[in-house]
Amino acid sequence: MQNILPILIADIPEALIELCGVNLLERLLRILQRLGFRRAIVFSTTPEIVGAELAKRSWPREHITADLASSATEPLTAERLLEQSSADCFLIVPVNIYCDARLLGALCAKDSSVALVDSNPPEFAQHLVRNPCGPALITRDFLLALSPTAPFSSELTRKIDHGKIDTVDAAREDDYIVSMRRHARPLCFRAPLEQDRRLAERIILDSAQKGTLDLPAYIHAPIETAIISLLCKTRITPNQITIAGFIIGCSATVAFAVGRIGLGILAALIFGIVDGLDGKQSRVKIEMTERGKWEHHLDYLIENSWWLAIAFHLWRSGQFPNAFYFLALLIASHLLDEFAKRRVKIARGRLLDDVTPFDRAFRLIAARRNVYVWTLACGFLLDALPQSYGIMCGWAAFSAAVHLVRSIWICDGAVRRFVRIRS
């Protein structure tokens, strides 16, 4: 980050209220670390309790240092803030809030003093949101113009009320997340009352759900969310879930290879649900890591081991002598599909599955692991496994062809628009 120092105002009990297994102070520190910060100062009127919380070992925030400063005897003023660092800007965040990381990032992207507001909260969250929302980016020059002895919070409120500071409006921020293939409204709201805790946790759980799914995933999604609503309150980590998924996936491979197709399909169906849990757990609890980004490559290896194992079984048993030719078609289709999607992402900055209504509709049935497994399950139940394997591979080729045509259409359209603009 640029020369910005986060200043957290953490008083109990609000700062230690837990939402989805993580208290608000811990959640904010995890977010700040992932925004690139390596140091923060925590002011508290209850330094003993907050200090004990900060002293706890926490790997998701191990790269950010939180220095505790007591405000029990004197109020937090502009003068005290200026004494903390020679930073050009201060990101002031009261810890009695839940705040989407995108909103904090939007504040940090500004080069002047700004406060966060929400001019049009969604109807379901209107009673949770208060304006101003609390977080603000304050420059050194702004602080020097404030009263050095008056409480900073009252001085900032006065400036906001009189329009003497710019604002970042949560309602006007771009809410599309490319990696999630969906629009997700960023929210900042105060620590909920006990009767609103379930709603607040539902908001957090919903924010972890990806969009533009295939048909089987629409069945998986509510099951995954129900499981995560329980798992997030345990000490189970995303990496542990990934390891469990790896074991289940490998078990399916072994079952397919030895001809226990029913058992393999059951393991593959379970894997389809477990595979969505690690990502959701990491997003809900802010436990994303660089290693976690490689999880998709591991999934790809596991999936392809299934198709290889089934082809081996069908070839060895004589049920489908040409199984390996179809396997080659499947792999080639996947490579072509990946090429088409990569071109679109470079040209449009978003995933091919979510460019137009047609692409979103085709995603429902396009060739993917979940669709393959369901196809094989139907073939197994109908005693037509070889035929279902052939259909699966053929559908992969058809889907790749559709995506290639869409890629050419979208990318060539982008080139034509670029030429028209330049000319």
- Per DSSP bridges, beta strands 136-139 and 114-117 are antiparallel
Q: Is 203 contained in some domain?
A: no
Nearest-5° Cα angle at 44, 131 to 189:
25
The answer to whether 155 and 79 have CB atoms below 8 angstroms apart is no
Given a cut of 90, is residue 175 above it in pLDDT?
yes
Give the CATH number, domain containing residue 51: 3.90.550.10
Residue at which a domain ends, from 126, 160, 190: 190
CA nearest neighbour of 54 among 75, 77, 23, 84: 23
pLDDT tens by residue, 294-308? 777 888 999 999 999
Q: Based on the domain organization, do 267 and 365 belong to the same domain?
A: yes
Note the pLDDT of residue 260. Answer: 96
Q: Based on the domain organization, do 241 and 293 belong to the same domain?
A: yes
The answer to whether 224 and 282 have CB atoms below 8 angstroms apart is no
Q: Based on the domain organization, do 181 and 282 belong to the same domain?
A: no
Q: Is 199 contained in some domain?
A: no
Taken in order 191, 196, 201, 206, is the CA torsion positive or negative? negative
Q: Based on the domain organization, do 172 and 233 belong to the same domain?
A: no
Residue at which a domain ends, from 190, 217, 243: 190
Note the pLDDT of residue 237. Answer: 94
Q: How confident is the model at residue 74 (pLDDT cuts 50, 70, 90)?
A: confident
Given a cut of 90, is residue 314 above it in pLDDT?
yes
Q: Based on the domain organization, do 143 and 257 belong to the same domain?
A: no
Q: Is 159 contained in some domain?
A: yes
Q: Based on the domain organization, do 173 and 313 belong to the same domain?
A: no
Note the pLDDT of residue 321. Answer: 95
Single-letter amino acid, residue 198:
R
Given a cut of 90, is residue 417 above it in pLDDT?
no
Given a cut of 80, is residue 421 above it in pLDDT?
no
Lowest-confidence pick of 70-79, 190-199, 353-362: 70-79
Residue at which a domain ends, from 159, 190, 221: 190
Q: Based on the domain organization, do 224 and 162 belong to the same domain?
A: no
What does pTM read for this prediction? Answer: 0.89
Note the pLDDT of residue 177. Answer: 92
Q: Is 332 contained in some domain?
A: yes
Q: Based on the domain organization, do 227 and 374 belong to the same domain?
A: yes
CA distance 290 to 194: 35
Q: Find the domain containing 71 and state its range.
A: 4-190
Give the CATH number, domain containing residue 320: 1.20.120.1760
Q: Is 224 contained in some domain?
A: yes
pLDDT tens by residue, 40-73? 999 999 999 999 999 999 999 999 999 999 887 7
Q: Dmax of the chain from CA atoms?
A: 86
Note the pLDDT of residue 298. Answer: 87
Q: Based on the domain organization, do 38 and 126 belong to the same domain?
A: yes
Given a cut of 90, is residue 375 above it in pLDDT?
yes
Question: Is the pLDDT higher at 422 or at 153?
Answer: 153
Note the pLDDT of residue 420. Answer: 55
Q: Is 412 contained in some domain?
A: yes
Q: How many domains does the chain have?
A: 2
Given a cut of 90, is residue 389 above it in pLDDT?
yes
Q: Is 198 contained in some domain?
A: no
Q: Based on the domain organization, do 15 and 138 belong to the same domain?
A: yes
pLDDT tens by residue, 200-237? 999 999 999 999 899 999 999 999 999 999 999 999 99
pLDDT tens by residue, 100-118? 999 999 999 998 999 999 9
Note the pLDDT of residue 248. Answer: 97
Note the pLDDT of residue 377. Answer: 97
Q: Is 222 contained in some domain?
A: yes
Q: Based on the domain organization, do 276 and 385 belong to the same domain?
A: yes
Looking at residues 81-91, what average pLDDT do you find? 89
Q: Based on the domain organization, do 135 and 223 belong to the same domain?
A: no
